Chains A and B, each alone.
Chain A
Amino acid sequence: MTRQMLNRFLLLAVGLLLLATPSWAQPGDPLRGEALYVGMASFSAGGAPCLACHGIAGRELGRAAGASYGPDLSAIYEDYGEDGIIDVLEDLSFESMVAIYENRPLTDSEKTDLVAFLGTVSTGVVPDIGSSMALHVVVVTALFLIVIGALGWRRLQGVRRPLVERARRGKGEIA
């Protein structure tokens, strides 16, 4: 598969996902939480999506790049629990979050949605979006993985660190 084709395929998959997404209404909706997390849906006050800083390794989310400003949140639900996460979002306990969300606070429902989503991450449960949609999600996830592989898994490790590691192993004189 050429890269070109892959890209198109991915685009298609994303399109499908968008089409397949049900309306978000109920509180504590993990799907909506995910949409908020990755930025597909905007926070009402305009805060940056979580993925801007935090990746979730368990979900292959944001391992590329910018999403590594903050710690990975794969285990946050286990570490903090529901209340803990809400507290963090409310008190903005981390200095770097203050600047982003102080004047752009999350609504209560946004918080609970996020918590719900993060809860699924921690248990590895795919959010229940109905059996018909589950297939799409599986397909999309699989596509993600393929695309990542094709576009250079190596890149996800970063560039600089392997150079140093190679030197450390004594092979780095001339690449």
Chain B
Amino acid sequence: MSWIKDIVDPNSRKWEEFYRNRNQCDKVVRSTHGVNCTGSCSWNVHVKDGIVGWELQATDYPELEPGLPPYEPRGCQRGISFSWYLYSPLRIKYPYLRGVLCDLWRKAKAEHGDPVEAWASIMEDEEARKSYQQARGKGGFRRSSWDEVEEIIAASSIYTIKKYGADRLVGFSPIPAMSMLSFAGGSRFMQLMGGANLSFYDWYCDLPNASPEIWGEQTDVAESADWYNSKYIAVMGSNPGMTRTPDVHFLTEARHNGSKVTVLSPDFSMSSKFADWWLPTHAGQDGAFWMAVNHVILSEFHHKAKTPYFMDYLKRYTDTPFLIELDEKEGVYTAGRMAKAGDLERYSEEENGDFKYLVWDETSQQPRMPLGTLGFRWQEKKGEWNLQMKDGQDGSDIATGLSLLDGNEDILQVAFDDFSDGNTVQRGVPVRYLETAKGRIAVTTVYDLMMAQFGVDRGLEGDYPQNYDADSVYTPAWQEKYTGLDRANVIQFAREWAATAEQTEGKCSIIIGAGINHWYHANLTYRAGIVALMLCGCVGKNGGGLNHYVGQEKLAPAAPWASIMGALDWSKPPRFMNAPSYHYVHTDQWRYERTSDEARINPVSEDSHITGGHTMDHQIRAVRNGWLPFFPQFDRSPIEAVKEAEAAGASNNQEIVDWTVKQLAEKKMKFAVEDPDAPENWPRMWIIWRGNALMSSAKGHEYFLKHYLGTHTNTIAPETAEEFVKDVKWHKEAPQGKLDLVVDINFRMDTSALYSDIVLPTATWYEKDDLNTTDMHSFIHPLQAAVPPCWESKSDWDIFKGLAKKVSQMAETHLPEPVREIVTVPLQHDTPAEMAQPEIKDWINGECEPIPGKTMPGMVVVERDYVNLYKKFISYGPEVRKNGLGAHGLNFPVADFYDELKEMAPTQKWGGEEYPSLEIASQAANVILHLAPETNGEIAYRAFEAEEKKVGLPLTDLAEGSRDVRTTFADLDRQPRRLLNSPIWSGLNTNGRAYSAYCLNVEKLVPWRTLTGRQHFYLDHQGYIAAGEHLPTYKPKPDHSTLQDFLVTEADENSIMLNYLTPHGKWSIHSTYGDNHRMLTLSRGCHPFWLNDQDAEQIGVVDNDWVEVYNDHGVVVTRAVVSSRLPRGISFLYHSPERTIGVPKSPLRNNKRAGGHNSLNRIRLKPNLMLGGYGQFTYAWNYWGPTGANRDTYIMVRKLKGEPNW
């Protein structure tokens, strides 16, 4: 060929060195990305000339079992752009201090000398305090020094502790698993001081409440490799193609191995593209689809076919055979509480008989009491908490009956709520009668109630639909008006689903995410899907189950980590609080809410004392009854409370508690939550690290600015709560600027940093040592310093260590002696408090006695030693050695390993004792790795031994083969390590098997941590029954007229109203990466607002036009993406933009800077998620509580008038 030159001549190719030189680098260091991403990808960071050049993925993951695709490479477009941050102009290189505060501080310091007095002088000068609060977010940072800012933070802490109590200090950092030591450094500091740490999982609305409701588990899911085992995958509310970037290959590969993928999604998403079948359901209506699917499954595969695998599974692993009492009122029966063994004469002497439940035994034709229920878990005699279908009294086998259809004593008409059109239907249900201590009661099984609830016609009397075409609740025809999908889809889907499950024994799975979980009624939609899984025996199977991937909740070595994180190695209990309640109350968002609207959003068939009233009053009841924690605790300092008790004659801790209870009962002392706007009840100092708490996660962001910060805000919403609230004290004027000091620890100048008073420069993820795990895979990774912390930054661990030191130094003057304070704790999950409140009774109304830990929060007197705070911070305390470690109600001894740590690792010696050192992060990492069952085989063995004792069945075989495994931080550098089997988790990893949740329960008969020990279709809680959510149900999506988004905002012909969705996007992980140059270049140089082309045309908007998006809460100004990919009526603003990057001003709101995505919403808490005190409905941090739902929001959008104003 003439013109195509092939050249081999080396001389003319010498120039090729040009690119070779670029490629060469000096070293490669393994690290990963440490916040808010569930990827947990191992990266090789390339360093050249002492500068981080670029990163590429590690590909050396240990292999799983043969026949599974490997985990390589892992790492997405966002992660690979991280190196941009290190040297970018966005990097925070030095400590910064707000200028106005800086001037005040330096002046006060010169005047007073003593830092605490200096701080007090500013705080007590209202004008001075306002002056810097109003400057928040408006520029004017000054470079400061570590010395100065540490001094201010310590002074503010000590001032607050002395004046108001340590529970007015608050710390927030998101999901720890990605950089668990960085998280732990801050929480350890806060807990040693006595401050409160806020939860994240529920606040981000990532906690799927259905998981604790059904499984008594925060969340447990399959690692992504297990998708490959699934032969039918339904994807809903999740866009793995976009958001699970490193995992989605398992999904595409599964398809090529013959798996079917069906996607429910309103838009043609990146996942719809992968689907075999795309079901474009209306946004937020997936629940209706699944309810109808369940109708078909129950009709065809249960009632008609009685599929043996399904029947057998339900009997063993679910609550379907359990007996439910039917309550009669005016001739109408309703489903009530679970029948208790203790009510039967036969079992009346049983320990915890009221917490052991009954099934129908087909052999004896008697109600029998199977093992494994709540009462067995907490009884004296151990070894009976397992899933064997044996009678707990005599050990005899039970032939479990699912239904009473054959051999019933009666058919009763039972009322079922149909919230879809506000009706009730009456349907015949087969019953038996039991003679009990309460008299003769009618009972039926959960299975029979399910058949009736879902309208399966079994030839019984009542409002049963005749066929699938009947427009009766939960038929395929019924769902059409909600989902917009033809009934034929439902029928075909249900058949394919159930047939696959039958053929494969449960290899059907659901991938689900924020697209469902961020709706107000997410728990119901989740349950609707989970029902389809349980009905087909798909939970606890490889290839089966509910795979919820929202927020990275899985911190694998949880037990030792928690001891460091909560400073539990020194004292208990910690002050952990659910953030949704915290912000709802303290940012005063409750003041903007009306009872009538909220009640319409969450309909109940009959208003009762349990369901009625303002959400703020529900919140107060939840605190008073010990269902939820709350900080600050009381209307006075918890230190003062102890002093007052002692002044009143209390001589020991018990008497201090007694005195406090008495004060509360006599209403001489109040819970702070009852008057949150009183200055003594405000949060005072907030430290934010690893997160973007003022923007990315601040639902109701504009209210944060107004009430927390006291600076500018774009909300115009009216306060409407006054006439509706009862128990909370109403202040005519809501306070603005509650927080004295906001500290942000960050490596980039994001919105939270910009609005804080002090910004501390932190090391990036390529500049520090840490640990990282995820639920997406089963390895543990290190973060490591490829280069030392740049400029003046320090790792989070070292920052908090520095703060601890400063506080200790200052305490020598101000808090020289240990002080005692009282700490309140809610009724906790995985403790006997699960049996505390089988009935809802309010002590405040005299319905019961106020008993701490039973009818009200527990109370503990603890001692704080501020002078030794630093020494405690850097020493692994003695409580662990003494009490062992554990989680989820399990405890195992570790004293010998604790001593081993002292032998092999550096120690701290003080006060005549020696402790394993936590002085530097890698030491803490080694402590964790050495004491966690997931990384130390002997500890795993021991943990299974402990679990064996409780369960009474063999389990240690699961750890036998790996007893000699030990892991160090240095090992993780060499290669990612796969986690060992551990009873703290429910999947099994043996021999490279893919982790799938609840395999331990199914295969080893370990109970779920629920009332029955089984998976729950039926939620036996008085509050759930009152809310109509005891059975799986459907509640309609709230419409805009009830949402109070437009009380003062009016529509005009230039605007259009759309449902406002903030799904997780392609160009950021929350707000991280979204501001970096790479992501902005590959997207549109902004976070655009997506809308449908016809909607856009209606308001004259063309692609890339500037638009103003607004409602009562605030305003966003950005450019529009017009796309026919979206259906009409919905809009996207991908989560989550910074208002600091290219955001112009808003003509609509006084030409002030427009906001971010959270400027357009306000938190709504679902009251029945505040319930507690019984069974799996008890509190644990990030496990239970109302979530920060944010999907139910509407906005107006119009074209921006004129050119953008900067």
Docked Cα-Cα span, A164 to B1103, in Å, equals 8
CB distance from B1084 to the nearest CB of A (A): 13
Q: Say yes or no: is B1141 at the interface (Cβ < 8 Å to chain A).
A: no
Q: Say yes or no: is B47 at the interface (Cβ < 8 Å to chain A).
A: no
Q: Say yes or no: is A168 at the interface (Cβ < 8 Å to chain B).
A: yes
Q: Say yes or no: is B661 at the interface (Cβ < 8 Å to chain A).
A: no
Q: Which chain A residues lie closer than 8 Å to B1103 at the CB level?
A: 164, 167
Q: Which chain B residues lie closer than 8 Å to A168 at the CB level?
A: 1102
* Chain B window 1090-1118, contacts with chain A (Cβ cutoff 8 Å), 1 for yes, 0 for no: 00000000000011100000000000000
CB distance from A46 to the nearest CB of B (A): 15
Docked Cα-Cα span, A164 to B1104, in Å, equals 9
CB distance from A160 to the nearest CB of B (A): 11
Docked Cα-Cα span, A168 to B1101, in Å, equals 9
Docked Cα-Cα span, A168 to B1104, in Å, equals 11
Docked Cα-Cα span, A115 to B1102, in Å, equals 44
Docked Cα-Cα span, A168 to B1102, in Å, equals 6
**Closest residue to A163 on the B side, CB-wise?**
B1103
Interface size class of B (residues with CB under 8 A): under 10
Docked Cα-Cα span, A164 to B1102, in Å, equals 9
CB distance from B1093 to the nearest CB of A (A): 8
* Chain A window 150-175, contacts with chain B (Cβ cutoff 8 Å), 1 for yes, 0 for no: 00000000000000100110000000
Docked Cα-Cα span, A14 to B1102, in Å, equals 45
CB distance from B467 to the nearest CB of A (A): 43
CB distance from A158 to the nearest CB of B (A): 16
Q: Which A residues, 7 to 41, have Cβ-Cβ distances below 8 Å to chain B?
A: none
Q: Which B residues, 762 to 782, have Cβ-Cβ distances below 8 Å to chain A?
A: none
**Closest residue to B1102 on the A side, CB-wise?**
A168
Q: Which chain A residues lie closer than 8 Å to B1104 at the CB level?
A: 164
Docked Cα-Cα span, A121 to B815, in Å, equals 81
CB distance from B787 to the nearest CB of A (A): 26
Docked Cα-Cα span, A167 to B1102, in Å, equals 7
Docked Cα-Cα span, A86 to B1102, in Å, equals 44
Q: Which chain A residues lie closer than 8 Å to B1102 at the CB level?
A: 164, 167-168
**Closest residue to B1105 on the A side, CB-wise?**
A168
Docked Cα-Cα span, A53 to B1103, in Å, equals 29
CB distance from A106 to the nearest CB of B (A): 25
Q: How many inter-chain residue pairs (CB < 8 Å) link A and B?
A: 6
**Closest residue to A170 on the B side, CB-wise?**
B1097
**Closest residue to A165 on the B side, CB-wise?**
B1102
CB distance from A170 to the nearest CB of B (A): 8
* Number of residues of chain A lying within 8 A (CB) of chain B: 3
**Closest residue to A172 on the B side, CB-wise?**
B1102
Docked Cα-Cα span, A33 to B1073, in Å, equals 47
Docked Cα-Cα span, A167 to B1104, in Å, equals 11
**Closest residue to B1097 on the A side, CB-wise?**
A170
Docked Cα-Cα span, A167 to B1120, in Å, equals 14
Q: Which chain B residues lie closer than 8 Å to A167 at the CB level?
A: 1102-1103
Q: Which A residues, 85 to 144, have Cβ-Cβ distances below 8 Å to chain B?
A: none
**Closest residue to B1093 on the A side, CB-wise?**
A173
CB distance from B635 to the nearest CB of A (A): 61
Docked Cα-Cα span, A127 to B1104, in Å, equals 45
**Closest residue to A167 on the B side, CB-wise?**
B1102
CB distance from B1125 to the nearest CB of A (A): 15
Q: Which chain B residues lie closer than 8 Å to A164 at the CB level?
A: 1102-1104
CB distance from B437 to the nearest CB of A (A): 74
CB distance from A85 to the nearest CB of B (A): 32
**Closest residue to B1103 on the A side, CB-wise?**
A167
CB distance from A172 to the nearest CB of B (A): 9
Docked Cα-Cα span, A167 to B1103, in Å, equals 8
CB distance from A140 to the nearest CB of B (A): 28
Docked Cα-Cα span, A168 to B1105, in Å, equals 10
CB distance from B1103 to the nearest CB of A (A): 7
CB distance from B327 to the nearest CB of A (A): 61
Docked Cα-Cα span, A82 to B1103, in Å, equals 44
CB distance from A175 to the nearest CB of B (A): 15
Docked Cα-Cα span, A80 to B937, in Å, equals 77
CB distance from A25 to the nearest CB of B (A): 34
CB distance from A95 to the nearest CB of B (A): 14
Docked Cα-Cα span, A162 to B1102, in Å, equals 14
**Closest residue to A168 on the B side, CB-wise?**
B1102
CB distance from B614 to the nearest CB of A (A): 49
**Closest residue to B1104 on the A side, CB-wise?**
A164
Docked Cα-Cα span, A64 to B305, in Å, equals 73
Docked Cα-Cα span, A168 to B1097, in Å, equals 10
CB distance from A20 to the nearest CB of B (A): 30
Docked Cα-Cα span, A167 to B1122, in Å, equals 11
**Closest residue to A173 on the B side, CB-wise?**
B1093
CB distance from B196 to the nearest CB of A (A): 50
CB distance from B1095 to the nearest CB of A (A): 15
Docked Cα-Cα span, A164 to B1120, in Å, equals 14
CB distance from B1119 to the nearest CB of A (A): 13
CB distance from B546 to the nearest CB of A (A): 42
**Closest residue to A169 on the B side, CB-wise?**
B1102
Docked Cα-Cα span, A168 to B1103, in Å, equals 9
Docked Cα-Cα span, A51 to B99, in Å, equals 48
**Closest residue to B1122 on the A side, CB-wise?**
A167
CB distance from A167 to the nearest CB of B (A): 6
CB distance from A119 to the nearest CB of B (A): 36
CB distance from B841 to the nearest CB of A (A): 65
CB distance from A164 to the nearest CB of B (A): 7
Q: Which B residues, 103 to 143, have Cβ-Cβ distances below 8 Å to chain A?
A: none
* Chain B window 1070-1102, contacts with chain A (Cβ cutoff 8 Å), 1 for yes, 0 for no: 000000000000000000000000000000001
Docked Cα-Cα span, A172 to B84, in Å, equals 38
Docked Cα-Cα span, A169 to B828, in Å, equals 64
Docked Cα-Cα span, A70 to B136, in Å, equals 40
CB distance from B89 to the nearest CB of A (A): 14
CB distance from B931 to the nearest CB of A (A): 55
CB distance from B1123 to the nearest CB of A (A): 12
Docked Cα-Cα span, A81 to B1102, in Å, equals 42
Docked Cα-Cα span, A9 to B30, in Å, equals 61
CB distance from B229 to the nearest CB of A (A): 44
CB distance from B913 to the nearest CB of A (A): 61
CB distance from A162 to the nearest CB of B (A): 14
CB distance from A78 to the nearest CB of B (A): 28
Docked Cα-Cα span, A167 to B1101, in Å, equals 10
Docked Cα-Cα span, A85 to B1103, in Å, equals 40
CB distance from B96 to the nearest CB of A (A): 27
Docked Cα-Cα span, A144 to B162, in Å, equals 85
CB distance from B711 to the nearest CB of A (A): 36
Docked Cα-Cα span, A129 to B1102, in Å, equals 52
CB distance from B1121 to the nearest CB of A (A): 13
CB distance from B1128 to the nearest CB of A (A): 16
CB distance from B305 to the nearest CB of A (A): 50
CB distance from A33 to the nearest CB of B (A): 31
Docked Cα-Cα span, A169 to B94, in Å, equals 51
Docked Cα-Cα span, A168 to B1199, in Å, equals 14
Docked Cα-Cα span, A4 to B1104, in Å, equals 40
CB distance from A72 to the nearest CB of B (A): 23
CB distance from A97 to the nearest CB of B (A): 22
CB distance from B32 to the nearest CB of A (A): 35
CB distance from A163 to the nearest CB of B (A): 10
CB distance from A112 to the nearest CB of B (A): 34
Binding site for B on A (CB under 8 A): 164, 167-168
Mind listing 6 A-B residue pairs with CB under 8 Å?
A164-B1102, A164-B1103, A164-B1104, A167-B1102, A167-B1103, A168-B1102
Q: List the 6 shortest-distance A-B pairs measured between CB atoms, nearest first.
A: A168-B1102, A167-B1102, A167-B1103, A164-B1103, A164-B1104, A164-B1102
